[in-house]
Amino acid sequence: PDLFQAPDYYNLDELLTDEHKMVRDAAREWVKREVSPIIEDYAQKAEFPTQIIKGLADIGAFGPYIPEEYGGAGLDQISYGLIMQEIERGDSGVRSTASVQSSLVMYPIWKYGTEEQRKKYLPKLASGEFMGCFGLTEPDYGSNPGGMITNYKDMGDHYLLNGAKMWISNAPFADVAVVWAKNEEGRIHGLIVERGMEGFTTPETHNKWSLRASATGELIFDNVKVPKENLLPNKTGLGAPLGCLDSARYGIAWGAIGAAMDCYDTALRYAKERVQFDKPIAATQLQQKKLAEMITEITKAQLLTWRLGVLRNEGKATTAQISMAKRNNVDMALTIAREARQMLGGMGITGEYSIMRHMMNLESVITYEGTHDIHLLITGMDVTGHAAFK
């Protein structure tokens, strides 16, 4: 009853099924109970709250759309999106952990792995017993992952993996890493690397002003012997990791709406209560302009993601359509966070309110999973037929 009343200006709830609403409300209730009360403290401490892992699993945030036979929640893409929206209303860093686990670790094992790999890893990842990370980015290859130099050699009875990955979410505590590396012919393959393998280390990246409640690190491979059965056999080439990114970027498009909703809601409440010059600041034209634009942009973003969810359910969403939604919605959320922060005046810079934390988090979200510029170039390529990044 006293759950967060999310902005729904165009009655989009009418487009949702009872299952969608049930899944969303369960996630909303859990975020209110388990995430919102503690997250500011963990962000200030720059620590991931490991005690929430079980709760994330319980609300279906680990593998929402992975079939139940592998421990997933067996939900559709709109439910997946709504879960990401609710989690990111709490914190983008917590949503990052769920995105990585679901779309970047469970998805490739499900789609590109063997039946043995699915049975071995997916149920444990779904329950949170295993946590995973995804190693694509390297120090010299961020926007251009196809240039990666991490590589493995066939040694007969095992593979020998060498190289390094950087900026890897969940790396410091992950039990398993899905790592993208080139074979001797230069073809990209996915390998499952497990903590404890000799020569594999995961140093944490410190001094972040963004996503402070999410652990980020490097993956270093120094002659790591990887068993041959840990290779993901069913898809190779850059298209394999890019397929995972389609799924994660889709979830981020929904997640960003959650962060934007929280900023809008906080600013609206504050503006109604804060009196200056003998009237609430909400009664001034300038602050109304900000609020009116925020709710307009949130509503447009909701429509974009809802339609994209329908296309994903039908298996018809293109990479370029996903790029447009990721780019638009994250930029929308960051703009709203910046405007909302100003509306709170000095209070806006404190941890008493969530806005500054969202704003700083979104600086990572607008950079990872393809930067704002790269997504623009993907749209540009789609409409012109020319790849301007080459």
* 351 touches 44 (CB < 8 A): yes
* Residue type for position 308: L
Active site residue 129: no
Q: CA nearest 216: which of 165, 149, 151?
A: 165
Residue nearest ligand FAD (C-beta atom): 142
Q: Which of residues 172-211 bind ligand FAD (CB under 6 A)?
A: 211
The C-alpha atoms of residue 86 and residue 96 are separated, in whole angstroms, by: 12
- Could you tell which of ligand TGC, ligand FAD, none binds residue 378, using a CB distance below 5 to 8 A set by kind? ligand TGC
Residue carrying the six token digits 């109970």: 33
Long-range residue pairs from 368-374, CB within 8 A, at least 24 positions apart, any chain: 368/167, 368/169, 369/245, 369/248, 369/249, 369/252, 369/326, 370/143, 370/245, 370/249, 370/323, 370/326, 371/143, 372/327, 372/330, 372/331, 374/143
Nearest distance in Å: CB 310, ligand TGC: 19
* Residue 379 found at the interface with ligand FAD (CB under 6 A): no
Contact of residue 347 among ligand FAD, ligand TGC, none (CB under 5-8 Å per partner type): none
Least distance in angstroms from the C-beta of 103 to ligand FAD:
11
Residue 142 interacts with ligand FAD (CB under 6 A)? yes
Residue 216 near which of ligand FAD, ligand TGC, none (CB within 5-8 Å, type-dependent): ligand FAD
Question: Where does residue 205 rank: exposed (0-12), middle (13-18), buried (19+ CB within 10 A)?
Answer: middle
Rounded least distance, CB 186 to ligand TGC, Å: 11
Q: Quick one: which of 134, 221, 254, 270 contacts ligand FAD (CB under 6 A)?
A: 134
Please identify the residue of the shown chain whose CB is closest to the bound ligand TGC: 239
Mark the segment that binds ligand FAD (CB under 6 A) among 153-161, 219-227, 300-308, 367-375.
367-375
User: Tell me, what DSSP letter sits at residue 220?
Assistant: E
Least separation in angstroms between CB 150 and ligand FAD: 11
* Residue 299 lies near ligand FAD (rule: CB under 6 A): no
Which of ligand TGC, ligand FAD, none interacts with 172 (beta carbon under 5 to 8 A by kind)? none
Helix (H, G, I), strand (E, B) or coil at 37: helix
Query: Following DSSP, what letter does each residue of 182-207 receive, concatenated?
Result: E-TTS-EEEEEEETT-TTEE-PBP--
- Amino acid at the residue 59: I
Q: Tell me whether residue 112 or residue 368 sits nearer to ligand TGC (CB atom).
A: 368
Secondary element (H or E) of residue 110: helix 107-112
* Shortest separation between residue 141's beta carbon and ligand FAD, angstroms: 7
Q: Binding partner of residue 281 among ligand FAD, ligand TGC, none, CB under 5 to 8 Å per kind?
A: none
Residue from 130, 167, 250, 353 that binds ligand FAD (CB under 6 A)?
A: 167
Q: Is 136 in the site for ligand FAD (CB under 6 A)?
A: yes
At 152 the three-state DSSP class reads: strand
Q: Which residue has the tokens 């929640």?
A: 73
Task: Name the site residues for ligand FAD (rule: CB under 6 A).
Answer: 100, 133-137, 142-143, 167-169, 211, 216, 364, 367-369, 371, 373-374, 389
Query: Catalytic residue positions?
Result: 369
